[in-house]
Amino acid sequence: MKSIKSYHLLVGVLLIAALFLTGCEGAGHKFVKKTEFKDSDKIVLTFAGPVDEVWATNVANFSCYEKPDPDIVLTIKEAVLSPEKTKLTLIFEAPLNTGEAHILSTTNIMSEGQDMGAALLTVKKLYFGVLMTIFLGAALIKNFVFTKYLGLCVFFGCSQKRSTAIGMGMVFTIVIAFAATMAWALYQFVLKPYQLTFLNIVVFIGLVSLSVQGVDTILRKINPALFKAFGVYLVLVIANCIAIAVPLILADNEYTGWESFSLALGAGIGFLIALFLMACVREKLELAKVPPSFQGLPIAFVTAGLFALAFLGFSGLSIY
């Protein structure tokens, strides 16, 4: 018993350590893939394509400050471009306070004679708060069903009974977490380097159906009981437009791997919450005296509207 406990503790510590270790990224511009601290006095920018050397090595094109102190501009001593022209190292005069988020602004990024626009980049390290914010934002504050009105057909179709609602929500959470992580990897490592981001909708739709098919195949063999319980919902996930909204949002906002995962998890849990709440009300509605013209779907829509109003109450919520 004791060995199991220490094993769990180890896994937990490793997971948290991984969170902080991978937390050295998160840019704010389409053409900038990654920003990170290096050593104590360097910031490394990774671009999606080669940049012009004349532009990149001119220190006057960059200005950097700590997020809380915008009036104290840090002096950059030197800018060094790597031979393949995609990695730029900015060397600062004094050591940086890497615990604080830094804001780095650049003039218009020049890449092979093309103007990529000016960038305002964030360089940050501490990460857990960001992940929690994304998770809560997707689950409650910007709940996909109640504030974005996405996934409504599955939402109304599967919210008649509590058991089906929970089943659908769970399957959806698993599939979306799987699909969004893959979508992030494909977007960052295939679509962006080859400048094919205009194809992202096609790729993401394929990924969603792929993960549904994959989960279907594997679950059928590994856990037939669970597969029977999930039944038709697994296939229905493809018809849910939240499954395509999540990859598009994470691509638009240039989320990192962990951020994408927490967005997907938040979307899934948010959908589960929405379905469960709605199913609870609709079970009671079966017994209520509803005017004939409102019976069935119309009263369900009215209820969903009331839920949406109630969810506005979460709009000020923040933990970190």
Alpha helices by DSSP H, listed for the chain, are 2-21, 53-56, 128-136, 152-157, 162-186, 200-222, 224-230, 233-236, 242-252, 257-285, 297-311
Q: Residue 243: left (phi > 0), alpha (psi -120 to 50), or beta?
A: alpha
Q: In angstroms, what is the minimal distance from the CB of 230 to another protein?
A: 15
Binding-site size, another protein (CB under 8 A) = 18
Q: Kindly write down the DSSP assignment for every residue of 253-290, as one continuous string.
A: TT--HHHHHHHHHHHHHHHHHHHHHHHHHHHHHTTS--
User: Is residue 18 involved in binding another protein (CB under 8 A)?
Assistant: no
Among the listed residues 18, 118, 201, 218, the single contact to another protein using CB under 8 A: 218
Q: In angstroms, what is the minimal distance from the CB of 220 to another protein?
A: 5
User: Is residue 75 involved in binding another protein (CB under 8 A)?
Assistant: no
Among the listed residues 67, 77, 220, 228, the single contact to another protein using CB under 8 A: 220
User: Is residue 221 involved in binding another protein (CB under 8 A)?
Assistant: yes
Enter the tokens of residue 213.
């098919």
User: Is residue 50 involved in binding another protein (CB under 8 A)?
Assistant: no
Between 140 and 179, how does the x/- string for binding to another protein read (CB under 8 A)?
----------------------------------------
Give the span between the Cα atoms of 281 and 299, in whole angstroms. 11
Residue with smaller CB distance to another protein, 21 or 226: 226
Task: Collect all residues with Cβ–Cβ distance below 8 Å to 126 and sequence separation of at least 6.
Answer: 20, 23, 99, 101
User: Is residue 296 involved in binding another protein (CB under 8 A)?
Assistant: no
Which residues contact another protein by CB under 8 A?
186, 190, 194-196, 199, 202-203, 206, 210, 213-214, 217-218, 220-222, 224
